[in-house]
Every structure is written in structure tokens, then in C-alpha cells.
Structure 1
Amino acid sequence: MENKQKFLSLNLGTRDTAVISLQQITEVFQVSLADICGVPQMPSCVLGIYNWRGEMLWLVDLEEMLGYPPVLQEANLLSNMMAIVLEREGKHLGLLVRSLMDIEWLDSNQIKPPSAELFYPAMLPFLQGYLINSAEEMVLSLDATAIIQSPMWAINN
């Protein structure tokens, strides 16, 4: 039995693709790096706070969090990046990403569990698993709940 759900697909690193279930996404918007207020003594993947709808939204470099080189190494302060706002039980977290691709219907039953041989250790806690798409490429399925509940920012929420 198929279990089709809508996922937002995005680029990770130079050649990887990841998806996040649309059910866990509140909003997607463009953010200027100059508008992010840095916060000292945070993990380097935490870029800072952004004023989102009058609330403080923590913004995180998704790639750096998952063990890729930081997106900001290539960006300058005038760059606009895309932010994905995840929501879980009233908590929000913004993920800064290089670029968004598409909204896709995927069969969540096709998602295979992640294995330590295939992925960076930093990535494993945040993965639901992976699937192979029609182009025979591996697509990472990110676990929005695990990302929001990560101990990295538990102290701040």
C-alpha cells in the first residue's frame, strides 16, 4: 500500500538532495544574511536570530549541522538565502539552505532506515532515512522533529 506524502526537496552540499515533509514546514522565505543577528557562544552552525513575524526565530545552517562545509563560506553578507521554518508543538526553527528544488509526492514507505556506513555521524540523528529516486539517486529524508528537538539548541528554546 502506498503512503504518498508531499515533501519539499532541497540541495545539500554540491550534489546531494534532501527532502523534508511539508507537514512539518510552516513557511519558506528569502532571508538576507545582513538581517540575522549573531549570538555569541553558540555552536557554529547556529547563525543567530531573525525577526520573523515579530517573533525571534533561531536560524541554523542546515548543511553545517549535517556535517557539510558551511554554506556561509561561499556566501557574502549581501547574499539572500532561503529559510525553511519548521514547526513542532509550537516551537519554530529556521533552516538556512542553499536552494530549494521542488515539491514532490513521495511514498514514505519507500524510505529505508539510515545506516552508519552511508552517512556522516553528524547527520544520523537528523535522518529519517533515505530513498532512491527515479533518477537512481539517493535522496536523504530529514527528520524535522529531531532537528527541532536537537540538544544543540534545547538550552535556548
Structure 2
Amino acid sequence: MTNVASPPETQNFLSFSVNSQVAGLLPSLQLVEVLSVTTESIVPISGTAEAVMGVCNWRGEVLWLIDVGATLQAGRLCDHNLLLPQYNVIIAKSPQGPVGLVVETVGQMCWVDPNDVAPAPPLGQTPTASLPPLPYLQGYWQSPEQSEIFAILDLERLLQAL
């Protein structure tokens, strides 16, 4: 009998970008839906964190919208795209309920080997010029095909930071 090592378990992620230099991944287990939200349907809420764009109606419920560009210190999407009539929103499951992650573009599904994920460095150490060290990242993954670096979001820690 021969011992054959089983292939590493891969995890599925949805890729997205917040600008031309910053990309991220969200675990597919947290993915609910991807949709477009018109600018007029977003209601700003005063007194909230800068990263909170506001709320909108989603299936008859109030959905909080988080500007992922602001959370990744890549600039607020609403500041960069003042003329856009709508935003791309990734609806994600969280312990607090569904939340909308506003991104510039929604990419494709990626299979990632956990062994290829670099842990998030301690605060103060930057993995790349375009991706700052943040306390709510699981780590970083470099795409072998595109040589692009993706920040892997830890949604629960991100929401706690807001």
C-alpha cells in the first residue's frame, strides 16, 4: 500500500477591486448576492464611520453599505466616482446580519490553496505599497497567473472596527 498525499484543500473566494491598484477576496461561504445599487437609493447616515456609505432597501430590509475602498485605505469610492449612477455591491453574511460591501468592480471566483496565503503582517509592516497592513485582513494571496496581490477580508473583524 502506498501513502499518497491528498491534494491540498482549496477555498473558493470572490475577487473584487476597489481601484486599479487594490484588489481583495471575500470567502464564498460569506457570499449571498452581487447587485448594483443606484446612487439615489443610498441614504447617508450621519454620525457613522467614514467607511459607512449609508443604507439601502434590500428585499424589504435595511442593508448597511460599507465602502471597501475606505476600509482598505485606498480612498472612498464615492469620492472617486462622483458621476457613477450606481455602485457594485457584494452582499455578505455576517454574525450581525447581511451587509453590503461596495466595490469598484466584482471579479471572478478564485480557488485558493490556504498554504499559499501569506498571513497579514503586524501593523507597521506593509506587504506592498498598494496594500496597507490592517487589523481586519486574514492575509494576502498572490495570483499565480496574474501576479496580482489580493487582500483577503476578515469580515467579522472589519465590522467590529467600524
Q: TM-score of the superposition, structure 2-length normalised?
A: 0.84
- CA distance 1:35–1:77, change in 2 (3 Å): farther
Which residues of structure 2 form unaligned runs of 5+? 1-6
Quick check: 1:34–1:78 contact (8 Å CA) kept in 2?
Answer: no
Residue 48 (structure 2) aligns with = 42
* Percent identity of paired positions between Structure 1 and Structure 2: 28
Superposed, 1:6-155 pairs within 5 Å as 6-76=12-82, 78-89=84-95, 91-115=97-121, 116=123, 117-118=125-126, 119-121=131-133, 124-134=134-144, 135-148=146-159, 150-152=160-162
Quick check: 2:67–2:77 contact (8 Å CA) kept in 1?
Answer: yes
Quick check: 2:95–2:156 contact (8 Å CA) kept in 1?
Answer: no
Which residues of structure 1 form unaligned runs of 5+? 153-157
Which digits, 9 at most, give the CA deviation of each residue in 1:122-141, with x for residues without a partner?
xx122100122113232211
Q: TM-score of the superposition, structure 1-length normalised?
A: 0.86
Equivalent residue letter for 1:137: E
CA-CA distance at 1:74 after TM superposition: 2.2
Equivalent residue letter for 1:52: W
Aligned length: 149
Cα RMSD of the aligned pairs, angstroms, is 1.7
Secondary structure of 2:119 counterpart: coil
Provide the C-alpha distance between the structure 2 equivalents of 1:90 and 1:43, rounded to a whole number of angstroms: 17
Q: Which has the larger radius of gyration?
A: 2
